[in-house]
Amino acid sequence: MNQHNTAGQTVELDLAAASWQVRRQDGVSAQEEAQFQAWLAAGMENRQAYARMEGVWSGLGELHPTAVAQLAKAIPEHKKRAFRLPLVTAALAISAAGAGWFGWNYYQQQPIFHESFASARGELLDVHLPDGSVMKLDTATRVEVTLYRQRREVRLPEGQANFYVRADRARPFDVMTDSLRVTVVGTRFAVRNTHAGLGQGGEAVTVEDGRVRVAPLHATAGGAGAVELTAGESVQASRAGALGTIDTRLAHGALLWREGRINFDNTPLAQALAEFERYGDTGLVIKDAGVAAMRVNGSFDTRLAADFGSTLPLVLPVRLRKYGAVTEIVAAGKNAK
């Protein structure tokens, strides 16, 4: 048996022994006690591992108190009981191993909170995280949140969200899209990752307060291609993660969705319509490429998606042609059929 296998088996034994130690402290049934005695009798290694656990139980409270305090603060009250067994089990096993680098590093890499959130079409959803940070999800948005002892991560596979990050220099906050990684310590910013609508389905980051670092998702730390944004700045990116130039004109308009509004600035009508469709059915279609390329300007209420079409003849040379439940936007001079 090689040294690697021996170390791996020792860790497994320590985890099993730690699990029994914690369970027996909480009280076990007669059947569980019989299972424990059978486990002890199965081999000398089991008895030795359990003896180590008994020896470190009283000293568990002295094991990395800073990390224990961070964990207790991060876990919601209603979830602490569910986390107790695996947490204390891991801590016991690490202590028994001498709190070596491998064991402690493994312990640090285990998530202390993981949950997915999603907003429905047309819904704005506020989410309060255990670390004190707050997310506001735009319509049809999905996020996956994982909090670790030394970092915080949010994956944004679809939609856009605004983040108010509780400052914690010991735990950086990363938001990851399909192709970007946004890293902050404490700030307010928004990230967009949509496959239709404004920006031709690209990705964008807008900073309201503080400073963030934006980089291609798989870029190395300190590598080329990253930019830093401060308050009032935004940057767009392609699906491949190529960053555009930093813009100071569009930041305010990019955040209006939080107030239930969309801002169009010389936006092609096809993109504007696709953006409205993210919030609700408009019943509108465009078949003419010339009409699709017409430019729209102005601020519109996202809650009135169905009324968007009625405003178009007032601002563009178009008219509406109705076919049952569908209305086509056509050029004003086009003959009716």
Of the pLDDT bands very low, low, confident and very high (cuts 50, 70, 90), residue 99 is: very low
In Å, what is the CA distance from 60 to each residue of 81, 289, 292? 17, 70, 67
Helix or strand holding residue 137 (H, E): strand 134-137
Residues 32 and 60 in one domain: yes
Rounded mean pLDDT, 286-293: 95
| Predicted local distance difference test score (pLDDT) of residue 207 | 95
Q: Do 302 and 257 contact (CB within 8 A), yes or no?
A: yes
Of the pLDDT bands very low, low, confident and very high (cuts 50, 70, 90), residue 86 is: low
In-domain check, residue 188: yes
In-domain check, residue 171: yes
Residues 120 and 251 in one domain: yes
Q: Do 203 and 177 contact (CB within 8 A), yes or no?
A: yes
| Predicted local distance difference test score (pLDDT) of residue 88 | 55
Here the CATH number for the domain that contains residue 305 is 3.55.50.30
In-domain check, residue 87: no
Candidates 199, 235, 185; CA nearest to 214 is 235
Residues 192 and 311 in one domain: no
Q: Do 152 and 174 contact (CB within 8 A), yes or no?
A: yes
User: Which residues lie below 8 Å from residue 325, measured CB to CB, with a gap of 6+?
Assistant: 283
Region of 102 please: left (phi>0), alpha (psi -120 to 50) or beta.
alpha
Helix or strand holding residue 117 (H, E): strand 113-118
Residue with the larger pLDDT of the pair 34 and 56: 34
How many domains does the structure of the chain reveal?
A: 3
Candidates 156, 142, 82; CA nearest to 112 is 82
Give the separation between CA 165 and CA 131, rounded to whole angstroms: 9
Residues 129 and 230 in one domain: yes
Residues 124 and 195 in one domain: yes
Environment class of residue 224 by beta-carbon count within 10 Å: exposed (0-12), middle (13-18) or buried (19+)? exposed
Q: What is the pLDDT of residues 153-187, one digit of tens each?
A: 999 999 999 999 999 988 999 999 999 999 997 78
In-domain check, residue 90: no
For CA atoms 263, 267, 271, 272, the dihedral sign is: positive
Range in 48-62, 120-134, 163-177, 217-231 the model is least confident about: 48-62
Q: What is the pLDDT of residues 109-141, one digit of tens each?
A: 788 999 999 999 999 999 999 999 999 999 999
Candidates 197, 171, 167; CA nearest to 302 is 197
Rounded mean pLDDT, 101-112: 64
* Beta strand ranges found along 177-310 (DSSP E): 180-184, 188-193, 203-209, 211-216, 227-230, 234-237, 261-268, 284-285, 295-301
Boundary residue ending a domain (204, 228, 255): 255
Does 83 have pLDDT greater than 70? no
Rounded mean pLDDT, 298-324: 89
Query: Tokens standing for 209?
Result: 């307060």
Residues 276 and 321 in one domain: yes
DSSP 130: T
Rounded mean pLDDT, 88-103: 51
Percent share of the chain, pLDDT over 70? 77
Candidates 280, 261, 255; CA nearest to 119 is 280
| Predicted local distance difference test score (pLDDT) of residue 176 | 96
Does 75 have pLDDT greater than 50? no
In-domain check, residue 102: no
Does 221 have pLDDT greater than 70? no
Does 97 have pLDDT greater than 60? no
Residues 195 and 65 in one domain: no
Does 257 have pLDDT greater than 60? yes
Query: Tokens standing for 10?
Result: 């020792």
Here the CATH number for the domain that contains residue 122 is 2.60.120.1440
Does 87 have pLDDT greater than 60? no
Residues 301 and 322 in one domain: yes
In-domain check, residue 10: yes
Boundary residue ending a domain (255, 284, 304): 255
| Predicted local distance difference test score (pLDDT) of residue 249 | 79
Residues 12 and 146 in one domain: no
Give residue 52's domain range: 3-81
Residue with the larger pLDDT of the pair 310 and 219: 310
Here the CATH number for the domain that contains residue 47 is 1.10.10
Of the pLDDT bands very low, low, confident and very high (cuts 50, 70, 90), residue 105 is: low
**Does the pTM exceed 0.85?**
no
Give the separation between CA 213 and CA 277, rounded to whole angstroms: 31
| Predicted local distance difference test score (pLDDT) of residue 4 | 41
Mean pLDDT score of the chain: 81
User: Which residues lie below 8 Å from residue 86, measured CB to CB, with a gap of 6+?
Assistant: 110
In-domain check, residue 93: no
Rounded mean pLDDT, 259-285: 92
Does 337 have pLDDT greater than 60? no
In-domain check, residue 337: no
Does 3 have pLDDT greater than 80? no
Residues 220 and 320 in one domain: no
**How many Cα atoms sit within 13 Å of 67 on the Cβ side?**
22
Residues 184 and 248 in one domain: yes
Residues 135 and 24 in one domain: no
Rounded mean pLDDT, 277-282: 91
**How many Cα atoms sit within 13 Å of 242 on the Cβ side?**
2
Query: Looking at the DSSP assignment, which residues form a beta bridge with residue 302?
Result: none
Boundary residue ending a domain (221, 255, 289): 255
Terminal-residue alpha carbon distance, the chain: 84
